[in-house]
Amino acid sequence: MNLTLHVWRQPGPDARGGMERYEARDISPDMSFLEMLDVVNESLVESGKPPIAFDHDCREGICGSCGMMINGVAHGPMRGTATCQLHMRSFGDGDTIYIEPWRSRAFPVIKDLVVNRSAFDRIIASGGFITAPTGSPQDANNIPVAKRDADEAMDAAACIGCGACVAACPNGSASLFTAAKISHLGLLPQGQPERERRATRMVAQMDAEGFGHCTLYGECQEACPKQISIDTIARMNRDFLVATRHEHEEKVLGGG
Amino acid sequence: MELKSKVPSGPIERKWDKHRFEMKLVSPANKRKFTVVVVGSGLAGGAAAATMSELGYNVKCFCFQDSPRRAHSIAAQGGINAAKNYQNDGDSVYRLFYDTVKGGDFRSREGNVYRLSQVSVNIIDQCVAQGVPFAREYGGLLANRSFGGAQVSRTFYARGQTGQQLLLGCYQALEKEVSKGGVTMYPRTEMLDLIVISGRARGIVVRDMVSGEISSHLADAVVLASGGYSNVFYLSTNAKGSNATAIWRAYKRGAAFANPCYTQIHPTCIPVSGDHQSKLTLMSESLRNDGRVWVPKRKEDCGKRPQDIPDADRDYYLERKYPSFGNLSPRDIASRAAKEVCDEGRGVGPGGRGVYLDFADAIRRLGKEKIAERYGNLFEMYQRITDENPYEVPMRIYPAPHYTMGGLWVDYNLMSTIPGLHVAGEANFSDHGANRLGASALMQGLSDGYFIVPLTIGDYLGSNKLEPVSVDSPEVKATEAAVRQRTEKLLSVQGSRTVASFHRELGRLMWEYCGMARSAEGLKQALAVIPKLRDEFWHDVRVLGTGAELNQSLEHAGRVADFLELAELMCIDALHREESCGGHFRVEHQTPDGEALRHDEQFAYVAAWEYAGDAQPPVLNKEPLVFENVPLSQRSYK
């Protein structure tokens, strides 16, 4: 296959970027999308031009490092697939492909297709955990969890933190990411004591990072490589509302 | 160099308790005065950093990824072992210990392995408390599956994403400590050297991978949890960024490197599809619970569609050769058996390097739905890569480099030969001998990180008086200067070959001569070629750009430069070990029926190599292995 690529090149965080055109020649349909970029990069280096920077690591769809807009779609045309799992057989000979970094104010570009997603770490740090210091727990089977709850928690916990949900959202909202963690922990008995506090804090941090609000476009669940459902957002909203109500009541009662 | 294992005396089941009591403690008020540097944020590093912060230490944790959540532990699929005996199938701490020593082909340290088995039960408790969504039965209790090398069901799992869920639990604990201020996290920061002052590890030199700035971080103790070195083979199941730089730099500063030739070739990976291949994808060993491995009995049938080959013409070779373990034979044995049938010309798929892993019987027995529930995400992953549907045609699999049992030598306290330098997880050598059993890597990473290093660090800090150090000290300046010089050298070669081309060439060489089967002749050939390739690298590599920016070629070049040195040590070790054991198979040493033949009288020791300068061969130190509980015997899975 031969392809024409238009790739966003930006030398640094404060530098001006622009689209550059490259030809990708003799691409095998069995290559992954990133292996296609490897081939382009090898030829760029051989001709003395700087290679395209992009984040990647496991190349099997689980670490969440990779991610780019491919023809305007986060992670490209295949549903439930991270960029590294996309194979060139999804494209046709002679195709033109536009490749851009995640688009979001809260994910500033570092270089080319590499963006800064540290806002996600700060959202988790604000409350995305169960406080269980090492060594303190009881026997694991003392906490039975209904299979349905465990399965549903696992569905939400499958999030790989890639940021596709944010990149795909017209509002640049991180609601699916945040809601996935709130749902995972909120569905389990171990997560109950901190459930309300978790929702309040994580939502506040999400707002503080400059992500947009959720207006339920649903683009995020279409782009999610793990196909996490926006049902999780309903859970987050419910937990947030309950928490806000309880806080309010506490203030009123506490004041008396 | 004297290797003191420091394994406590007394009966094996009392050693760890006794040691915990005898270790020095640091009082809560004094802990905050100590700073510990942790390199790596996977299961071992992340767990150690979080736990030490909970205890009160100041922790600085470093990872090269953009977030600690992306460490390669995340990619582990199948599960984690623990001797809970929830299935009442005869499991016990002692049996897990026994299986692990035997599975490691009697080349691990009994004391460490017993402790690992003891602690395994606490890991599951800890992870459940953190909210790890392990698979459960309808009654709400935890589910188990079987894994290779064991005849009990002791593996806990979260679909095919166990590593991900354990790492996220650990990452969340780490972020909790970040928010409390106990851990400072340094993502996109790579350790490039170890600072040793007065013979003790006192910090690291790092490069900020975004700005290119090189700086030093001083500490009272350093923990390396930087993973394994399978990427020396270029094609492996490791993440592209996984590298040996941290442990290799430590080796060159005086930490002994133990058993570098013990590498694990995982039997069930998706075969190579072409020259463009950048990495190999593992298919979890758990698939061997329900999948049956076979090749055609006759070479002539290899080109046929698998569904057209009747059962009578199939060779279920693992079931035939190892009737009691069958498809669940340990990894080294299953890998070698696959190589053998392919060498005989009975391999399937492009290039004849593949065997079938067939689910047809399991689907008939259990139904497609049950199989989808157990392995759905793995089947999807397979189909995405190969464009074949494993519910309808058998998977094609072939062995690939996956894990390295070798690593920096550590004593019972997980401390290397450099005082103050602790090594945890895959980066150390300690628990798996010459072959690791499935679902034991996650167990070891979390055991080291949650339950061992945080305590033994306290013993080190409590029993040694450390002198104050400053960033202006000559040792720090010299180490920083060496890092700068090396970086500049890589950029100044301006040769004609890309970094990747060198890495691929090294990988092919290592796979050929230091892979699944090794011979003296082949290893000698590799030892003749590697120095030439290394020389060519330093004279002809092309790294564009500068050191003062995000420069992925420069990062890769530094790692490949280290792999080019480590590869040589691996071959030296493989050549010196005139026996076969576990993942180390020397063709000269096999039983009449082709199994690994150990020579215990000569080789029941840990080979700990000591750096002696670039111009000198490394020095071999031996730690004898004593087996007081599991008698040395030839491993049999028949």
B186 contacts on A by Cβ (under 8 Å) = none
One domain, residues A136 and A250: yes
- The single residue listed with the structure tokens 């005086």 is B254
**Whole-number Å distance between alpha carbons of A197 and A63:** 28
How far, rounded to the nearest angstrom, does the alpha carbon of residue A33 sit from its chain's CA centroid?
18
Q: Of the residues A111, A146, A162, which one is the last residue of a structural domain?
A: A111
Q: Which of B74, B165, B241 sits opposite A157 (nearest CB)?
A: B165
* A125 at interface of B, judged by CB pairs closer than 8 A: yes
- Which CATH number is A251's domain given? 1.10.1060.10
pLDDT at B282: 92
With beta carbons less than 8 A apart as the criterion, state whether B318 and B337 touch: yes
* B284 at interface of A, judged by CB pairs closer than 8 A: no
One domain, residues A200 and A171: yes
Average pLDDT of span B598-617? 97
Interface contact A158-B552, CB threshold 8 A: no
One domain, residues A104 and A121: no
- Of the candidate CATH numbers 3.40.50.300, 1.20.58.100, 3.20.20.150, 1.10.1660.10, the domain formed by B474-599 belongs to 1.20.58.100
What percent of chain B is modeled with pLDDT above 70? 100
pLDDT at B149: 82
Q: Of how many residues is chain A composed?
A: 256
Residue A138, min C-alpha distance to chain B (Å): 6
Average pLDDT of span A155-159? 98
* B631 at interface of A, judged by CB pairs closer than 8 A: no
Interface contact A121-B185, CB threshold 8 A: yes
* A161 at interface of B, judged by CB pairs closer than 8 A: yes
Using CB atoms and an 8 Å cut-off, which of residues 288-327 of chain B contact chain A? none
Phi then psi for residue B145, to 5 deg, are -135, 170
Name the band, by pLDDT with cuts 50, 70 and 90, for residue B601.
Answer: very high
- The single residue listed with the structure tokens 């699929």 is B77
Strand pairing partners for A233? none
Structure tokens at B89: 């199938």
Nearest Cα neighbor of B117 from B148, B83, B88 is B83
Average pLDDT of span B179-195? 98
Q: Domain range for residue A235? A: 117-255
State pLDDT tens for residues B70-83. Answer: 999 999 998 999 99
One domain, residues A87 and A124: no
Using CB atoms and an 8 Å cut-off, which of residues 324-363 of chain B contact chain A? none
Nearest Cα neighbor of B57 from B37, B39, B82 is B37
Interface contact A62-B161, CB threshold 8 A: yes
The third-level CATH classification (topology) of the domain covering B267-399 is Flavocytochrome C3; Chain A, domain 1 (3.90.700)
- Count how many domains chain A has: 2
**Whole-number Å distance between alpha carbons of B509 and B505:** 6
CA dihedral B162, B164, B169, B172 (to 10 degrees): 180
Nearest Cα neighbor of B497 from B555, B537, B532 is B537
pLDDT at B26: 97
Interface contact B175-A121, CB threshold 8 A: yes
Q: Which of A121, A143, A154 sits opposite B159 (nearest CB)?
A: A154
**Whole-number Å distance between alpha carbons of B379 and B287:** 10
Residue type, B425: G
User: Does the domain spanning B12-72+97-128+162-265+403-463 belong to CATH 2.60.40.60?
Assistant: no
Average pLDDT of span A81-100? 97
pLDDT at A255: 54
* A59 at interface of B, judged by CB pairs closer than 8 A: yes
Domain boundaries, chain B: 12-72+97-128+162-265+403-463, 267-399, 474-599
Helices (H), B367-492: 368-386, 441-446, 453-463, 474-492
State pLDDT tens for residues B483-517. Answer: 999 999 999 999 999 999 999 999 999 999 999 99
* B385 at interface of A, judged by CB pairs closer than 8 A: yes
State pLDDT tens for residues B410-454. Answer: 999 999 999 999 999 999 998 999 999 999 999 999 999 999 999
With beta carbons less than 8 A apart as the criterion, state whether B543 and B491 touch: yes
What average pLDDT is seen over chain A?
96
What percent of chain A is modeled with pLDDT above 90? 95
What does the buried/exposed string (b/e) look like for B435-470 if buried means 16 or more CB atoms within 10 Å of the residue's CB?
bbbbbbbbbbbbbbbbbbbbbbbbbbbeeeebeebe
One domain, residues A79 and A177: no
Interface contact B75-A63, CB threshold 8 A: yes
**Whole-number Å distance between alpha carbons of B604 and B615:** 29
One domain, residues A18 and A88: yes
**Whole-number Å distance between alpha carbons of A86 and A33:** 6
Suggest the residue from B52, B176, B455 to mutate for an interface test with chain A (most A CBs closer than 10 A): B176
How far, rounded to the nearest angstrom, does the alpha carbon of residue B194 sit from its chain's CA centroid?
21
Strand pairing partners for B423? B224
Q: Of the residues A87, A111, A135, which one is the last residue of a structural domain?
A: A111
Average pLDDT of span B458-468? 97
Phi then psi for residue B464, to 5 deg, are -125, 140
* A26 at interface of B, judged by CB pairs closer than 8 A: no
Strand pairing partners for B619? B610
Nearest Cα neighbor of B544 from A22, A52, A66, A9 is A52
One domain, residues A129 and A249: yes
- Which CATH number is A69's domain given? 3.10.20.30
Nearest residue on chain B to A64, judged by CA atoms? B70
One domain, residues A179 and A233: yes
With beta carbons less than 8 A apart as the criterion, state whether B267 and B301 touch: no
State pLDDT tens for residues B336-389. Answer: 999 999 999 999 998 899 999 999 999 999 999 999 988 888 898 899 999 999
Q: Which of A57, A80, A147 sits opposite B140 (nearest CB)?
A: A147
A140 contacts on B by Cβ (under 8 Å) = 84, 124-125, 127-129, 134, 142
Q: Of the residues A92, A111, A130, which one is the last residue of a structural domain?
A: A111
State pLDDT tens for residues B155-165. Answer: 999 988 999 99
What average pLDDT is seen over chain B?
96
B241 contacts on A by Cβ (under 8 Å) = 57
* Comparison of pLDDT for A256 and A118, the residue scoring more: A118
One domain, residues A123 and A85: no
One domain, residues A106 and A148: no
CB pairs under 8 A between A and B: 213
Average pLDDT of span B90-118? 97
Average pLDDT of span B291-309? 96
One domain, residues A150 and A168: yes
Nearest residue on chain B to A156, judged by CA atoms? B133
One domain, residues A136 and A212: yes
Interface contact B381-A85, CB threshold 8 A: yes
